[in-house]
Amino acid sequence: MNLAVPALLLLLLLLPGLLAASAYLGRFGRGRSEPVADTTFTWSWFWALLASPPLHLVWMTAIGFFSTPQPAIAAVFSLLSGVGERQEKVLTEAVSPFGLEIFCYFFSISVVAALLGGMARKVVRTLGLDLTFKSFRFGNRWHYRMSGEQQAIDMIDDIDAAGLPMWQNISLKRQAFRQWRNAQRPLVTISVTLSHAADDYLYVRFLQEYEIDTNGGLLSLRLIATIRRKLTDDRSSDEAERKPLHDDPRFYEITGDSVCIWARDVKSLSIRETLKNRS
């Protein structure tokens, strides 16, 4: 039997689940700064294996209300799985009249699966389930740290560490999330070290936006009101008390509305969350 045939069958079976899982994990259809799970390729296929059977079952039931007679989807799967010559002829005759319907079935279930995955992701993000419960949390940490949501995660993880009964634990975590959501959002200050020619420079200021690539890695940063200094212009050990950045003569402003920094050029990075207003 041609090995390409069962491989095609496997792809058709798992494609809806794979699209649903990919949409939920942020592989596509997300904002540039939205979190991407760092789930491995194997885990993506595992979730696809779990999601695909119920998707096919529900969709095959649903099309029964809109298609009479129904396309022989089961015959398609049997045919692709490899059968004897006589049975193959019977199945081919059962499938042939429904070529367009069968194509529409696989196309429609793939579209619906991707939409369902995106909707599930939206629900999780809107309700803050990824902040409240570790099982919903996207593995990649860049988004949580850059957005200031790490502050909420730290609060909720402290509740988990207390070892409270389950229902009390859930109630306190949801209460902590609501308090964090209604509070003033932390301002994220970024300090990065970059190299220019023969010198290294320290860039400091407020994070305006960031971008995460499809693998969950940090792609770029955009800072506003940016100042910088040479890394060699450090304070001496006998220098007086530290001055605020805007009063520090070692730093000077960079003209322009914002500064875009590619993560690949960053040598070191420091993230700090504060509640201080940008003004």
Burial class (CB in 10 A: 0-12, 13-18, 19+), 114: buried
Q: What is the pLDDT of residues 156-169, one digit of tens each?
A: 889 988 888 888 98
The percentage of residues in the chain with a pLDDT greater than 90, rounded to a whole number, is 13
Confidence of residue 99 (pLDDT cuts 50, 70, 90): low
Q: Is the pLDDT of residue 84 over 60?
A: no
Q: Is the pLDDT of residue 96 over 70?
A: no
Q: What is the pLDDT of residue 279?
A: 38
Q: Using alpha carbons, select from 214, 234, 233, 220 the residue that is nearest to residue 266.
A: 220
Q: Are strands 258-262 and 252-253 parallel, antiparallel or unpaired?
A: unpaired
Q: What is the pLDDT of residue 246?
A: 65
Q: What is the pLDDT of residues 18-35, one digit of tens each?
A: 899 888 888 887 777 788
Q: What mean pLDDT do residues 251-277 have? A: 83
Q: Is the pLDDT of residue 188 over 80?
A: yes
Q: What is the pLDDT of residues 130-140, one digit of tens each?
A: 888 888 888 77
Backbone angles phi, psi at 206, to 5 degrees: -85, 140
Q: Is the pLDDT of residue 145 over 90?
A: no
Q: Which residues contact 145 (CB under 8 A, 6 or more apart)?
A: 188, 271
Burial class (CB in 10 A: 0-12, 13-18, 19+), 196: exposed
Q: Is the pLDDT of residue 75 over 90?
A: no
Q: Return d(Cα 195, Cα 201) in angstroms, integer.
A: 6
Q: Using alpha carbons, select from 267, 254, 186, 266 the residue that is nearest to residue 224.
A: 254
Instruction: Using DSSP, state whether 191 is helix, strand or coil.
Output: strand
Q: What is the pLDDT of residue 193?
A: 92
Structure tokens at 268: 């070191």
Q: Using alpha carbons, select from 92, 116, 106 the residue that is nearest to residue 63.
A: 106
* Cβ contact 6:82 at 8 Å: yes
Q: What mean pLDDT do residues 171-193 have? A: 85
Q: What mean pLDDT do residues 75-91 have? A: 55
Q: What mean pLDDT do residues 13-22 have? A: 88
Confidence of residue 278 (pLDDT cuts 50, 70, 90): very low
CA trace torsion 46, 52, 55, 61 (10° rounding)? -150
Q: What is the pLDDT of residue 1?
A: 47
Q: What is the pLDDT of residues 205-259, one digit of tens each?
A: 899 889 888 777 888 999 998 999 888 887 765 555 566 666 777 888 888 888 9
- Please tell me what DSSP assigns to residue 265: G
Q: Return d(Cα 43, Cα 53) in angstroms, integer.
A: 17
The total of other beta-carbon atoms located within 10 Å of residue 252's CB is 10
| 80 vs 121, more confident | 121
Please give the angle made by the CA atoms of 270, 250 and 229, to the nearest 5 degrees.
Answer: 45
Across the chain, mean pLDDT equals 79
